[in-house]
Structure 1
Amino acid sequence: MIRRLTCATALVAGLVAGLVAASAAPAVAEAPRGWEQQVMKVPAAQRLGQGKGITVAVLDTGVMKNHPEFRGRVTNGPDFIGGGARPGQSYWGAHGTAMASSVLRVAPQARVLSVRVIWDHEDPARKRAEAAAKSGSAAADKESVKAGTALAKGIRYAVDKGARVISMSLGTDEWGFGSGYDELTASAVDYALGKGAILLASAGNGGSTDPLEVDANNVVSYPAAYPGVIAVAAMGPGGARADFSQVHTYNTIAAPGVDIYAADNRGGYKAGDGTSPACALAAGTAALMLSRNPDLTPRQVRDILVRTARKPPSGYNVFLGFGLIDAAAAVRAAGAAKDTKIEAAPYKGKEYLGGGPVAAPTTNPPIDMTYVAVGGTAAGVGLLFLLLAVLLMRRPRARRG
């Protein structure tokens, strides 16, 4: 126990130095359990806020809400993706249960709304959909079509049910079919932002530089790449980018993503790696911020996370974004944030755009009122004759004897 606590303390002390090498160095494989709590300064943040009154929607593979970890803090919403799996099966809620656990370990008094929008990797429905996508069969592609709308429906449902934070530990690099960008989901993201919801997504796990790695694609991953979504990269215990974390300009911030212990859908706990737990930890931090200041806007939450992050020496980079989340600093800044005001900015530019007018304004000669009077008199006489003609035509004729 003493050795484990000593290692965790050393990790906190050496993190800033480790960020010097936070470019593309691989992550250290072994880390003490709970190291993410120490490097993110979660205990200090929890003394300022616990997430009370905040609902975090976990859009994932489902959550086993009866796990002892949750103690009544999880509500199951609808299953938008279907496929036939049911709670209790090993391929229902494996990923989502772990993500909900990571959220609540950062924000213990928050509530999780579970919305099922993706399949676990071992789900037979996922395998059928992958086979259908390869074969191009219209009949077999029905599940893939349903999967394509699940995320958009899940986002809108979560917002309408009052979720202030939406955690999406998913992406088209691993979970989706097709090109990735989707108009329905983009519209749902805009809808959520307009309602004041904070959206976070995992950056993706295809960032390996190993040519033999199956997932070493580093493609643009949605929903992380949608404007307004906070994309979360994964950091290892040494302070460097985890070797699987995708490298893109949409990366906003980083959180621990190696050896993260979380609840298992079959009971107990297990460790996992990925940008998925990094996203869940970031979502928990956002819940702490909102419990401290419920009036924060999505832009304020993003700006505070960026401003308070422990940045790489060179500032922003595509590996870790603006750096590691400092939960304590973020929650303190959230408490001090003031209401935002929207007002028009005065124009201070030139009088004309471009070169301005090229010639003097055109002028016309004044109207000769004599012609107006003559014309008006003629029109009046004409109307008088017309009226007399009408009256003569309507005059009764004399009857013949």
Structure 2
Amino acid sequence: MEKGAAVISCSWAPATINFSLSLAQRNILTQAATQGRGGKGCVIVFSAGNANRPVSGTINEKGWPRNAVSGRTEWLSGFAVHPDVITVSACTSWNRKAAYSNWGSHIAVAAPSNNAPPNVGLSKIGTVNTGPELKSSLPGRGMVTSDRTGSAGYNRDAYTRTFGGTSSSCPVVAGVAGLMLSANPNLTAREVKQILQETADKIMDDEPDPQLGLRHGTYDNNGHSQWFGYGRVNAARAVAEARRRLWRGRSHTQVVEQSESVPVSIPDNRAEGVVRSLQFRDRGTVQDLYVEVRLEHDFLGDVMVHLRLPSGRLLLLQGRTLGTQQQLEQRYDLSNTPILMQAIGENAAGTWRLQVSDRAPGHTGQLLGWQLNLALNSEN
């Protein structure tokens, strides 16, 4: 939280069957989820676990290797049941429950992962498969993800197919949360969780669990499944809803714009670049805006474009991502440049500055012109 994290992804669990949080642990999670990110809260995502057991509940255990666990056993994952976290279970590529995935009323959403026998890490004997032994086939594709290169990774190349479990489904949801905050940085952590749950796909699995024979793959009257939470995460729908909420509670009473179309050279390899200013005298707070920029350059991959607000805050509109392109005519708005959300609520009156800088030697160009459009909620 102190490092400015927006999303905290936790693909791990304690090596024990019953783990309750200390008061300090509960409090730090609540603090991060409510006070992080400038009071909007860090989004905290936890994996449900891979034992095919409830994150909180009792199972009459039998059939474990070496009789490691037997009899009436209380299962508890203290992190997974914390009310301020997003607990993620795993489904397969067939939209079925992954055989290992933990489950229960605290599951928020599911995400795709591989399929494999359930297991759990125990402090005294290490990782063991849970009982009874699974003898049926477990269909489903594995996950492909980037990997540390060479001997440090799972495989020799830069990718692996062996990463799985809820340790794999958890970062899928964390990544979607990151996309949502990129689209709408004003969302609170609770709103992110709510949107993920409301936009999830209601996949169903009416087959019995091959290990315990349980059937929890349907949804109750509240739309919740013990296996899948509120459904399988849907990135497109979640991001679309995050964008839609950009406008909730915002309206404007006037639109003002200014522009400049006098070409000016961009100094080669100088971080300060060229700065052009537009002066607004209109009173009111910004509710929406866009910036149009036109420039030409021998190698646009050298160029960065910033907007400086009247308050002094500097926003990056364009990084060095344009490669060998030589012409740029671009409109930057809230939908394609989420950092502009930081201008919402800004007082319009004052000097708005566009800074265009060349960050590498050997190529030159010029700023042809720019325009700033502000939608204001005018002051009376």
TM-score by length of 2: 0.44
Instruction: Point out the structure with the larger helix share.
Output: 1
TM-score by length of 1: 0.42
Whose Rg is larger? Answer: 1
Instruction: Point out the structure with the larger strand share.
Output: 2
- Which structure has more relative contact order (CA 8 Å, sep 6+)? It is 1
